[in-house]
Amino acid sequence: MQFCDCNLISQTEILDPAVIGTLNVLRSCKKNPELRRVVLTSSSSTIRAREYIDPTLLLDQSSWSSMELCERLKLWYVMAKVSAKKAAWEFAKENNIKLVTVLPSFIIGVFHVTWI
């Protein structure tokens, strides 16, 4: 079995599709006149990648992963999730959409990717 060499994955191969895809879904949702709320399933990685972790710190909607740390460590998946989530919040605010984000920390299921 061949595993991913994440150094070979470019930033734009992950970041751009994540943001563009998220915004495309929100634009489609906006077209529905009956829309009450959008629930975005993201990842707990959007709040956990930090230089210094204080175990007593409560993580909430103001908590974000460090983009600088992610870039330095080439955590493109985390950067993509953070970028998409921030873009979603901005779009929702600009378009008066009630947005809820869910940040699962562990998901069990089949892992479908083409590069494994």
Contact call for residues 17 and 33 (beta carbons, < 8 A): no
Q: Identity (one letter) of the amino acid at 99?
A: L
Sequence ranges of the domains in the chain: 6-102
Checking if the pLDDT of 5 tops 70, the result is no
| Whether 81 is catalytic | yes
Task: For 11-40, write each residue's pLDDT tens digit.
Answer: 678 899 999 999 999 999 999 999 999 999
Cα–Cα distance measured from residue 11 to residue 109, given in angstroms and rounded to the nearest whole number? 26
pLDDT of residue 2: 41
Q: Categorize the per-residue pLDDT at 106 as very low, low, confident or very high, splitting at 50, 70 and 90.
A: confident
Share of the chain above pLDDT 90, in %: 60
Q: Which of 74, 81, 86, 93 is catalytic?
A: 81
Q: Is the pTM of this model over 0.85?
A: no
Q: What size, in residues, is the chain?
A: 116
CA angle 102, 89, 81 (to 5 degrees): 60
Cα–Cα distance measured from residue 62 to residue 74, given in angstroms and rounded to the nearest whole number? 23
Q: Which two tokens stand for residue 71?
A: 């870039």
Mapping DSSP to helix (H, G, I), strand (E, B) and coil, where does residue 102 land? strand
Taking all residues of the chain, what is their mean pLDDT, rounded to a whole number? 86
Q: Which two tokens stand for residue 6?
A: 């994440």
Q: What value does the mean pLDDT take over residues 70-86? A: 93
